[in-house]
Amino acid sequence: MTIRFTPTEIRNAVELLASHPLIRLVTEIDDNGAIPPRRVANTLSDLSRHQQRSATDAARAYGLVRTAPGTGLDLTEPGSELADLYDAAARWARRHAYPRPVCEFSSRIRHVLDLVNQSSVVQDAEASSWLPAARPSSTEAVAELSRVRALLFQWLADNPRATQAPEPVA
């Protein structure tokens, strides 16, 4: 069974998942383990308090993290799978020097997710037409990016709430 997403649903998901603070939170926990209570500020010191709070609130709301007794903020299974998606996107970006040969990790992920979003809008176009025009496209790059796209779509199929427009903050 193939699940189809509308361009709006994909855009909503990409806006959520490409958030720098959310990427930082998920990858920090994935790389270093649970964040102990009251250590989020020190662990994510490059983010403002507002960004830290927004990231943890969004991660909780979408079921990406949980507070585990005795350990702190930890990834759930969907959060772990999202970290794997982030790693796959970053690997593709590094391998193909996208968007630039040297680029910050979360920026690479944001650019790849945006590229996947663009590819979803032009599904009927030639496969390589949605790769950046400034870079020579290759069959290998298209195939690898298609795998990242498939990972994203599988994650979205398992976590469809992420495709909905965010609820307004009170």
The predicted-structure confidence for 62-95, as pLDDT tens digits, reads as follows 999 999 888 899 999 999 999 999 999 999 999 9
Question: For residue 161, which amino acid is it?
Answer: R
pTM over 0.85: yes
The Cα–Cα gap between 6 and 159 comes to: 15
DSSP class of 35:
B
Please tell me the predicted confidence (pLDDT) of residue 4: 84
- Give the contacts of 52 (CB within 8 A, at least 6 positions apart): 21, 25, 40, 41, 44
Identify the band that residue 124 occupies on the pLDDT scale cut at 50, 70 and 90.
Answer: very low
Q: How far is CA 41 from the centre of its chain?
A: 22
Residue with tokens 């772990």: 80
The Cα–Cα gap between 51 and 44 comes to: 9
Whether residue 65 contacts residue 25, with contact meaning beta carbons closer than 8 Å, is answered with yes
Which is it for the CA torsion 65, 70, 71, 72, positive or negative?
positive
- 3-12, 17-26, 108-117, 119-128: segment of lowest average pLDDT: 119-128
In the chain, the percentage of residues whose pLDDT exceeds 90 is 71
pLDDT tens for each residue of 1-12? 467 889 999 999
